[in-house]
């Protein structure tokens, strides 16, 4: 047996991460709606679906800001996406609407990516003896 080629891996990744019949089939019977009301449970699939509907627009804007950064039109110390969006707005590369859209989009992306984000002392047995070598 040969391992799958990279092209096949890319094709499969695209099929399950975009709005496709393969993804629909895989999600058949899964809970895909967002929680509503006070105390609602967040649903990662619903969050991803929310991002998916605006993916094409966001992708164009990510490319626009990345291209401007590569051309030196944005400050070189604007390393985080949020910093680049603000710099792009100041440089008239983004409109106010585009910058606001990307702020909101990136906030949802960041929320999805920080699934295992715990406080520094979360797992300490004796919190009195902790030494925080990197205080915020």
Identify whether the C-beta of residue 120 lies closer than 8 Å to the C-beta of residue 55.
Answer: no
Q: Give the pLDDT confidence score for residue 17 in this predicted structure.
A: 85
pLDDT band at 96 (very low <50, low <70, confident <90, very high): very high
Query: How far is the CA of 69 from the CAs of 64, 86, 88, 93, 99, in angstroms?
Result: 9, 12, 9, 10, 15
Number of H helices, E strands in the chain: 6, 0
pLDDT tens digits along 55-68: 999 999 999 999 99
Q: Which residues of 43-59 are buried (b: 16+ CB within 10 A; e: fewer)?
A: beeeebbeeeeeeeebe
pLDDT value at 38 more than 90: no
pLDDT value at 40 more than 60: no
Which of the residue ranges 8-12, 37-41, 61-65, 68-72 would you say has the lowest mean pLDDT?
37-41
Averaged pLDDT for residues 113-123: 68
Number of residues in the chain? 136
pTM over 0.75: no
Q: Give the pLDDT confidence score for residue 124 in this predicted structure.
A: 67
Q: Give the pLDDT confidence score for residue 114 in this predicted structure.
A: 76
Percent of the chain predicted with pLDDT > 90? 45
pLDDT band at 19 (very low <50, low <70, confident <90, very high): confident
């Amino acid at each position: 047996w040969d391992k799958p080629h990279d092209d096949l891996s890319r094709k499969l990744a695209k099929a399950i991460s975009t709005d496709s019949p393969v993804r629909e089939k895989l999600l058949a019977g899964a809970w895909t709606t967002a929680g509503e009301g006070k105390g609602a449970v967040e649903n990662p699939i619903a969050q991803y679906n929310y991002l998916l509907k605006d993916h094409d627009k966001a992708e164009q804007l990510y490319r626009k800001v990345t291209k401007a950064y590569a051309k030196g039109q944005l400050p070189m110390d604007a390393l985080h996406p949020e910093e680049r969006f603000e710099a792009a707005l100041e440089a008239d590369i983004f409109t106010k609407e585009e910058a606001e859209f990307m702020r909101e989009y990136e906030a949802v992306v960041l929320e999805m990516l920080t699934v295992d984000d715990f406080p520094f002392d979360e797992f300490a047995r004796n919190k009195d003896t902790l030494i925080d070598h990197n205080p915020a």
